[in-house]
Structure 1
């Protein structure tokens, strides 16, 4: 620290650009920076050059790490996309009917799931999105299914109920748009197989 202090005192009249000042402050803030200096005695300009080179190395490592993470996620997404087909086979509006003990309006969505993979699936989850003809989102929701599906088989579940809120534009559009005029997009995020293995977009959930 004494060596750096002497350099700064000797150059206390030097005006630095903001970027250079930030670089110098970043060097000083690093734990054990003095032990990392390549030489015992360095000028202010040399410290700045050394600091810029270190920052460039860190930035390069960050870019490589981010690219590797994107590649990992894209690979996981391709694998997950190849496992399941999710379709909506029916959409209906259920008005309130006290005689049927239904005291609120509902929208009912009936889903079917086909296992395209070679392993039996125990459970899965992901996001389902309804798009209009322009590709704009009408409605989206998280879907979680805890029912086994054998390879090559399709499972259809009873209608999922959504409490209809006429003040929500998404609910209004979902109710009034015909199913044939909507595109359903399925984005899986986690699949648990019957043998206990798991495929997930979250790294800490993956199992071999």
Structure 2
């Protein structure tokens, strides 16, 4: 009985050692080795193995000292590290997005900007797209100046154009002001043509506040 058990152990050991995944890397037979390994591991591990071979070659590692199993383990470790890094990145990005959303909400509770007219004009042989904005101070403090950005998109939220918005005249608490602006028109730029030809009702106007300065010297950023 003991002899039979020992025989089975020896045979199992030999079969394990002869598995293509346990073979040492060989530059000359790598294609054949990979073909032999394909039937032994799933497609995900196969991609990790091949990716790890390429990565280690770029690092000028001596692959001949490693088995294909060692190379695969290296790929799995790299994948784990990459997944961990991407997860941390995602958390940081989500936290930053939440903070930005809160910041914008706080600023939008103070100042609201809307575009109520868009046109086209020529001055001194130059062409311009013109805009009229209404600014509402919704706070209980007088605003001294404000800065932000206006983005024009189509109805599918695809950005067409944007402009910097700077208004440095006082706006009393609870009142509104108007601001006329213009941007250069370039007939050879697709975005300029699109913005010029679109009616305001077919555009979305997105106000993104950056800084608000109050007459008492305080500010919101």
- The SS at the match of 1:95 is strand
Whole-angstrom distance in 2 between the partners of 1:72 and 1:107: 34
Q: Which has the larger radius of gyration?
A: 2
Give the whole-Å Cα distance in 2 for the aligned partners of 1:88 and 1:143.
12
- Residues in 1 aligned to 2:112 and 2:105: alpha-carbon distance in whole angstroms: 13
Gaps of 5+ in 2: 1-65
Structure-1-length-normalised TM-score? 0.60
Match among 18, 36, 56 for residue 74 of structure 2: 18
Structure 1 residues 95 and 153 mapped into 2: Cα distance closer, same or farther (>3 Å)?
Answer: same
**In structure 2, what is the Cα distance between the partners aligned to 1:156 and 1:165?**
26
SS of 2:126's equivalent in the other structure is: coil
Q: Which residue of 2 aligns with 1:193?
A: 214
State the TM-score, normalizing by the size of structure 2: 0.57
CA distance in 2, matches of 1:59, 1:168: 38
Query: Which residue matches 1:81?
Result: 108
| Residues 163/122 of structure 1: CA separation in 2 closer, same or farther (3 Å cut) | same
- How many angstroms does 1:60 deviate by? 9.1
Unaligned 5+ segments in structure 1 are: 1-12, 23-51, 97-101, 201-208
**Structure ranking higher in helix proportion:** 2
Counterpart CA distance in 2 for 1:138 and 1:60 is 33
Measured in 2, the distance between the counterparts of 1:184 and 1:69 equals: 24
Residue 167 (structure 1) aligned with residue 188 (structure 2): yes
